[in-house]
Structure 1
Amino acid sequence: MNKAENFKFLEPIQRGKKGLWCQRLAYKDKHGKWKQTSKSGFARKRDITTAVKNEMLKELSGLLSLDNSMDSITLKDFSELVIADKKNEYALNTIITYRNAINRLPTLKDMPIKEITYAHCIKEFATLEQAKGNTVFSTVTVLKSFFKQAMLYKVIPSTPLANYSYKPGHKGVSRLRIFTEEEMNTLLDYYKGKDLQTWIQLCFLRYCGLRLGEMSAIRWCSIQGNMLTVDRQYSNISGKFAFRKLKTKNSYRTIPIPDTLLNAIQVYKKRYPPFISTARVVQRNIALNISIKKIYPCHSPHDFRHTYATNLLARGVNLRTVASLLGDTITTVEKTYIHYSEEMRKNAVIKLNEIFG
């Protein structure tokens, strides 16, 4: 590159409301056309040092060394190119995983890979909200791998996801498993006629939204009229199972027992005077999990808690009340059930428009 003819640093300028300094670099591309690249975010003009300019020249050198023959190649086409080139290295399952990951990115896969930005990626990841966390993690990992391959193939100068790491639990990356009313009715009807102990456990999970350890620690004295006091749990610490105090002060609570559950308790009490937490708790909890998966393999006891919470939110119960009933903080509930709290906000807007519109 001839410094005098092919590039020149322009005078720094200030941009934005904060007046941050920006260094611009004009250069000629391979077709002889003048273009610009820049680096911004400097608080003071003197922060634009020689080292900063040298780094810009280094990045520009990488940009100008790219393979122009693949300017318009899409992410999907590039992924197939890499798979074809490495067919003797990749196992069949690896190829299937890679292709499935790219197909989960309907917008990105048809974009020229050179045009894909960090913002494009984040927006696409948000569409994966119905996928499990492991699926999202796999998809992100595969995409980052193909960006790195694109750098080796001289298609792009750098990867847009260099500083990105997927963190499970962020908005839009995972969806809770929820029972339908029909599924819960099917489970309870099935076990009421076959195993009354499993049935009463399912009833407490369904109608109180308890954690499994809390449900396992219920005593007859926990029930006073139509209220249930949650004040202990059955848990494993250092390999030892025992009845213990609850983890947080929010976990201690008294919750209403609906009439349906009160009637179920009376049916159970006539047959089994000792309550469900008297003995062999671990074995019964394992059996409960197996009993659920026997009918619905993708569900677990904790899914009843998610279902309980989302049903309350769907019926307009406010976050503070839901948090109190679950024994959680408002922040935890909002994060866990973000999709439903967002729906509540949208419904609030509709109601406000009806009132004041």
Structure 2
Amino acid sequence: MKWNNALEDYQYYLKLEKGLSENSIDAYSRDIKKLINYLEVNELNVSAIKISHDNIQQFIYTISKKLSARSQARLISGLRNFFDYLVFEDYRTENPTDLLETPKIGRKLPDTLSLEEIDILINSIDLSLPQGERNRTIIETLYSCGLRVSELINLQLSDLFFDEGFIRVIGKGNKQRFVPINEQTKKYINFYVKEIRTHINVQKEFEDTVFLNRRGKKLTRVMIFTIIKNLAIKVGLNKKISPHTFRHSFATHLLERGADLRAIQQMLGHESITTTEIYMHLDKSFLKEVVNTFHPRK
């Protein structure tokens, strides 16, 4: 079996059997492509069926000089999943990555923004520009609904159930959930849709997409990252932030104000409560306050 054929089969498996998004499939594929490129550069004529533990160990050793421990761990995990698939399909009898040592990494949590920092970012947006109203609405929606960036750019007008107080979100694995939306965010979305979006020449296939670029097409993930990065630079925010920062801040602020962890799990679209627990980042002062408030023997 040629490498490209094995990779193509694996991609179909991830899409059809695992229900992963295109972004996740691309991420898994990049790990395999790095290995394929290494083999080609070093003129190692070994197939996906015949590649050995030693071949992969040497690949990891070579590429590790350019990667952090976290990136190495993620790469090894990606390769392990690929070879697990080959074993599952009976192409191989064993996984050559089983004996690889994964670098030990500490838990890295994203920065959390305070309410004041979020307000500063939003207030720095130039609302005299058409994209200003759009960008304010984007930040408000990311934060107040705790959306992933992919969920935001794929949000449809037909997903807005404002009378019921919810928006419909299509998350990872094409799973659907309904997320509550507050009055302020509804107001911003309504204003953007009725006063700004109506003046855009919407391209075919994007008539139902909420957030559009100036050419009338869906915004890209990169564009959302760029908008947020430029805002952070503009206000001199000394934190590394991304769209995910607003999602993390949304969940953290809710938990700090006493929201139930399982309710947060549902709103974030986490399949496991364990993911939500790891995701949360609480300081010791808040934990102390919880004990002092709720412990029966306080």
Q: TM-score, normalised by structure 1?
A: 0.44
1:336 matches 2:279: yes
- Matched residue type, 2:228: I
- CA separation of 1:185 and 1:226: change in aligned 2, threshold 3 A: farther
- 1:151 corresponds in structure 2 to none
% of aligned pairs identical?
A: 23
- Matched residue type, 1:295: L
Q: What is the aligned residue count?
A: 181
Please give the alpha-carbon distance, in whole angstroms, between the structure 2 residues aligned to 1:180 and 1:356: 32
- CA separation of 1:342 and 1:254: change in aligned 2, threshold 3 A: farther
Equivalent pair of 2:146/2:250 in contact (CA under 8 Å): yes
- 2:226 corresponds in structure 1 to 290
Tell which structure's C-alpha radius of gyration is larger: 1
Structure with the bigger percentage of helix: 2
- 1:174 corresponds in structure 2 to 108
Which one of the candidate residues 165, 179, 201 is aligned to 2:138? 201
- Matched residue type, 1:292: I
Equivalent pair of 1:200/1:265 in contact (CA under 8 Å): yes
Please give the alpha-carbon distance, in whole angstroms, between the structure 1 residues aligned to 2:193 and 2:258: 34
Aligned-pair distance for 1:344?
6.4
Equivalent pair of 1:214/1:230 in contact (CA under 8 Å): no
Equivalent pair of 2:146/2:248 in contact (CA under 8 Å): yes
Q: TM-score, normalised by structure 2?
A: 0.52
1:247 matches 2:173: yes
Deviations 1:106-162 (A, max 9, x none): xxxxxxxxxxxxxxxxxxxxxxxxxxx95999xxxxxxxxxxxxxxxxxxxxxxxxx
Structure with the bigger percentage of strand: 1
C-alpha root-mean-square deviation of aligned residues, in Å? Answer: 3.3
- CA separation of 1:182 and 1:341: change in aligned 2, threshold 3 A: closer
- Matched residue type, 1:182: E
- 1:219 corresponds in structure 2 to 156
SS state at 1:179 partner: coil
- Matched residue type, 2:275: T
- 1:301 corresponds in structure 2 to 243
Q: Which runs of 5+ in 1 are unaligned?
A: 1-132, 138-163, 234-245
1:324 matches 2:260: no
Deviations 1:167-204 (A, max 9, x none): 33x5xx42321122222112222325132222221111
1:230 matches 2:168: yes
- 2:293 corresponds in structure 1 to 351
Equivalent pair of 2:109/2:279 in contact (CA under 8 Å): no
- CA separation of 1:167 and 1:135: change in aligned 2, threshold 3 A: closer
Please give the alpha-carbon distance, in whole angstroms, between the structure 2 residues aligned to 1:218 and 1:256: 14
- Matched residue type, 1:266: N
- CA separation of 1:214 and 1:343: change in aligned 2, threshold 3 A: farther
Aligned-pair distance for 1:335?
1.2
- 1:268 corresponds in structure 2 to 192
SS state at 1:174 partner: coil
